[in-house]
Structures are given as structure tokens and as C-alpha cells.
Amino acid sequence: MAQIDLLVGDIAGNSAKVIKEALDARDRLKADAVVFPELTLTGYPPEDLLLRPAMAVQIDAALAAIKSGVSGISIVLGYPHYEESGCYNAAAVIRDGEIQYRYFKQSLPNHSVFDEKRYFKAGSEPSITEINGVKIGLSICEDIWQPEALEQMKQAGAQLIININASPFHAGKQQQREVVLAQRVAESGLPIVYLNLVGGQDELIFDGGSFVINAQGVVTQRLPALVESLMVTEFEVEANGALVPLPAWVTPLPTDDAMIYNAIVLAVRDYVRKNGFNSVVIGLSGGIDSALTLAIAVDAIGAANVEAVTMPSRYTAEMSIEDSFAECEALKMKCHQIEIEPMYQSFLSALQEDFLGDKPDATEENIQARCRGIILMAISNKGRKIVLTTGNKSEMSVGYATLYGDMAGGFAPLKDVPKLLVYRLSRYRNTLSPVIPQRVIDRPPSAELAPDQKDEDSLPPYEILDAVLEMYVEQDMGPDAIIKVGYESEMVHQVVAMVKRNEYKRRQAPPGVKITVRAFGRDRRYPITSGFHDA
């Protein structure tokens, strides 16, 4: 089982990795076959790269390289297969210079983050191939979530099911996968090898967690989550032809908070490195969001590759500055301080005539945030350091963020992390080593852009806000249904209005990793200009 991390579009690099891992599986592990993820050669999701004329040519060259570069082991490999009739999401069995068998994915997902029907035609034939005399049914990702394809394979005489995947992560996904596969085993009585991709790709994180489940529905082997692994699984063929996976190491499932935290760490590491950066810069406010983002960044790419900048204003509490420096000290890194008051005053002076007669409002608050955004982007440009923004999902939902200010940056690690989960992840991180000061966790959150400002001056308490947002954004419940749960009518309608009103902001926000069942971005696509009202 080759649970590997790939770079989307790097056909030559991905095929070279296939060759390397296949030779290792043959020579070191003495394997008869090696299984790779869905669309290995392109990475997942390749999106409109599949429509480029050069793609088919590069795929053919990669297959030729694999066929000539590896012998003595069967390779089960996912890739896009081009024919005159269209493009297929395919799995091939390659051995000794030949493609011995090819299968086309039947169930093409077209929901959530998936839009495979845009690119692929669906296959219809059951897949049965032989490796070392064993009849194997090949399937690809979504095929296993429905009973039909597996039933075809059983009827065709399959002894073992191999399911190759590019299954993205959200909280609780691994448990969901294992429940579904237990259902398929109960229906078919066949063992299943479930091989998943690992690594970050833009908004998606693939968490690995590949596993083997026997004919009794028991997981007999599980690879670690969120890391590349090449592990052998062995089967015993009984006299009646039944395949029995031999017991192997079953990696324990991490806690939810550990899984989410480490998924974000991997997402940051891969986004930074795969996009050609070596370092990041983060603005520290002394608040919990920037503290957690800093810890994630250091865990992802190392303290030496992270620059932290605190940018106090006239409204910044002294404890915020102290806590920013304390966070850096705990992570064994330096904190750089730049005062924004001089540039803030310059903006106010330049705008004095335009603002004449108007009372201070959110405009002046946003100018402060934009001063900070300019500083961070300047450091980014000069030092080729990508800016990590620090906003969370609760703020992004209701627009409690400044466009071209604290939203300015290249990647948003907490974009899909609700505020209450920010607190949970911060506490989890402190169990590994105390890097977030306790008073940062305890103090009321504040943007510190006005005197004595608190988030709850403008927003419902996060315990209420996060619950309402989960129902509206992730569960598609309308305001009336949320009110019936027991939430105050005026508040619910206010929150819903803020979510709708700030679609234009979210459309301009940097990408961020998906960790819930529905994230903003490719997972939730709403028009900016809309006259729709929930009723």
C-alpha cells in the first residue's frame, strides 16, 4: 500500500515517485503488487488541467516510463485515460512493461468539493483482474460508497476488492469511511483494501489512513494518518479460495482535536512548499487566533522559517504586546515590532478633507487593519515569505474581518475553524508544549481597533454564534428552522443577513484548508449578487 503525497500537475515527478516506491515495494518488502491512489499521475483534483491538450501526451509518456522502469511487480495505478469518446478516471494494472488490465470509475461524484462529471465519462463494466492467480475487483473511491459496483465484482467472482482513493478530510471522516466499508463487506463477504491519498492541495487535505478490512468487517491493518507510508499487507488463500488478510499493525485513530490540528499543519506545510516558498510571515495581535496560527506554522515548517510581527496601535493593550513576545519566546523565535501609529496618522491626515464633518466609525478601524496588511505584504514581497492570515470561520462567516487588511495574505489556516474550535485546538497544542499563554485563552476576544472594544459588542457570544452558523452554513437550515431550535429570532436573522452580505468578502479571501463538512470556497458556492431570501 503506497500512501503517498503528490503534486497536482507534476506528471513527470509523480511518475518518478511511482517508480521509486514500486521498486522499494518489490525489493525491500518483497511485494507481489503495489497499490497507488486515485489519479496518481495527475494528483487530485487536477481540475481544468485535464482539458489541456498537453495532458494526454504527458500521461502517455509517464505510463511509458513506468512500464519500462519497473518489472517483477504488479502496479495498480490511478490516472486519467483519454479516448475519442472522452476522458475516464481509470485504474490500470501494469506488469512487466504492459498494461494488463484497465478499469473505468463508475460512480462520478458531483457534490461538495467534487465535480467529476465536468471532466470524466462514467464506466459501466465490472472490474475483475488477476494478480498471482487471485481474482481482484478494482474500484475507485466513490464506487465503494454505493453497493452496485461491488455487487458486480462479487458476481464476477472477485476474491478481494482493491479500492483506490483521493478522499479528502473533514472531522470524523475516517470513522465514516470504516462504517461504510463495513457495510460493503457485510453485503459482499469480501475483504477490501482501501488505499487513500495523503497531502495538502489548495483547500483540500487528504489524510491517508489507508486500511484493510476482512470478510468479518474487522479492520486488520491501518496506516498512519497524515503521513506518507509504504507498508506491506499479506493475505492467506484458503482452500475454498477465500482471502484472509493476516493481522498487521492497526494505527490507533487520533483524537478529533489532534487529527484536525495535524491536518492543518500538513495543509500549511504542503501549501507553502508546493508553491515554492520557504518561509512565512504572520501578524501577531496578542489574540488567540494569531497565537494558534503561529504555533501551526512553526510546527509545519520550523521556527527558523517563520517571521512574526506585532503591529501595535494606540488601542493595543500592553498585555497583547507582552503575550505576542511570550508566544515567540515559547516557540524559540524572535518577534519583530512595528508601530502603525505614524502611518495611521498619515492616512488620517491625507483623508482629513474627505472625512470633514463625519464622526469616527469602522472606516478608521479598517485603516488600522489595512496599515498592518501593507506591512505584512511588504515583508512578503521583499523576503518572498508568504503571509498566513489568522481569521477564523466564525469571523469569515459574518464579515468580521477587514478586506485588504487582516484578510490580506496567501493562505488562511483557520479559514474553516470556528472560534470555539480555535480554543479547543489551542488547548490541545498546549498539551504538547505550553506555547500559548493561558491569559490569551482566557481573555475576551477583541479586534483592538477602538477603545475598550470586545467582539461581543458587535457579535453574539461565540457559543451562540457558532451554533447558529453551523446550522445555517453547514446544515443548510433556514432561519425559521433555527429559531424553532430555540434561538432568538432577531439575532438569527441578523446573523443570516451578515452571512449573505459578506459573500463578496469571502470571494476575495485567500484559500484555507477544509476541515468541516462544508467550508467556504469550492465547497460552498453562492452568488455574490442575489435576491434570494430564505423562507
- How does pLDDT run across 244-278, given as a tens digit for each residue? 999 999 999 999 999 999 999 999 999 999 999 99
371 belongs to the catalytic site: no
Superfamily of domain 258-451: HUPs (3.40.50.620)
Phi and psi angles of residue 281, each rounded to the nearest 5 degrees, phi first: -130, 140
Dig out the grid coordinates for 518 from the structure: 462544508
Residue 296 CA to residue 305 CA, distance in Å, equals 12
Q: Which amino acid is at 193?
A: V
- Which pLDDT belongs to residue 533? 86
Catalytic residue among 17, 21, 87, 141: 141
> 6 near 39, Cβ under 8 Å?
no
Strand, helix or coil at 206?
A: strand
Q: How does strand 86-95 pair with strand 98-104?
A: antiparallel
87 belongs to the catalytic site: no
The ranges assigned to domains in the chain are 2-253, 258-451
Q: Supply angle C-alpha 76, 79, 80, rounded to 5.
A: 145
Nearest CA among 313, 320, 317 for reference residue 364: 313
- Which pLDDT belongs to residue 535? 74
Residue 102 CA to residue 94 CA, distance in Å, equals 9
> 73 near 91, Cβ under 8 Å?
no
Nearest CA among 36, 46, 35, 48 for reference residue 11: 46
Residue 470 CA to residue 493 CA, distance in Å, equals 14
- Which pLDDT belongs to residue 469? 97
- Which pLDDT belongs to residue 448? 67
Nearest CA among 483, 505, 506 for reference residue 493: 483
Dig out the grid coordinates for 393 from the structure: 470561520
The pTM is what?
0.96
Residue 410 CA to residue 250 CA, distance in Å, equals 37
Dig out the grid coordinates for 93 from the structure: 494494472
Residues above pLDDT 90, as percent of the chain: 92
Catalytic residue among 17, 21, 38, 393: 38
In Å, how far are 77, 201, 382 from 390, measured between CA atoms? 38, 19, 21
Dig out the grid coordinates for 229 from the structure: 507510508
- Which pLDDT belongs to residue 30? 97
- The segments of the chain whose pLDDT lies below 50 read none
Catalytic residue among 105, 154, 274, 415: 105
- The H or E element containing residue 497 is helix 489-501
CATH of 2-253, picked from 3.40.250.10, 3.60.110.10, 3.80.30.20, 3.40.228.10, is: 3.60.110.10
CB burial of 217-251 (b: ≥16 within 10 Å; e: otherwise) equals: bebbbbbbbbebbbbebebeeeeeebbebeeeeeb
Residue 312 CA to residue 325 CA, distance in Å, equals 12
> 70 near 79, Cβ under 8 Å?
no
Q: Using CA of residue 56, residue 58, residue 60, residue 66, what is the dihedral sign?
A: negative
Residue 216 CA to residue 236 CA, distance in Å, equals 15
